[in-house]
Chain A
């Protein structure tokens, strides 16, 4: 079955601490994985995709096919990182499967 699992509903860290948002997927094909973010009172927006291997707002995510994971990481969290984060798996065609989301709260 095709599935995206984000095991943490809520993640709370202090400002300046490292943060890791977990994402695991189940897919038999070659996955395309993404992270979307929704800041308070803003729209859901694409944060990054695994193919680009880029760092956006200090966040990176590495696809680990052996562990079927695509965790989102940032070495030093900032208060403005507080948001809802969704991991998504694009399985081809027009099908994208979203995880349930993790709310990140960065405390001052």
Chain B
């Protein structure tokens, strides 16, 4: 099993550009989530999904969209990148009945200039 995979590993965007961060898991987990990690702060939840077709907002959802068309994939879209979105983004998945047992991807380091 590859576990949770994320692409790309690094990305540089200009202000106003859009892009999609990819996340996939092969563990048949129902729950998936996106976090951002900023210096001196813990991980903050952006969006999450409790199953295919179901998504909801986390703590810091503004400027991001998600969709969950399949169990495996949970892409995060930045609609119009801003410097404040410079961060490291982590995707995580967890099995039904153990939402707290999160398996994390390797992260994507995004810089917006």
Contacts and interface: CB of A to CB of B under 8 A. Distances in A.
B48 A94 contact: yes
Nearest to A5: B42
A32 B100 CA distance: 9
B19 interface: no
Contacts, number: 47
Interface string A17-43: 000000000000000101000000001
Nearest to B44: A98
Interface in A73-94: 86, 88, 90, 93-94
Contact of B42 (A43, A95, A101): A101
B99 A86 contact: no
Nearest to B104: A44
A1 B44 CA distance: 15
A13 interface: no
Contact of A4 (B3, B33, B42, B101): B42
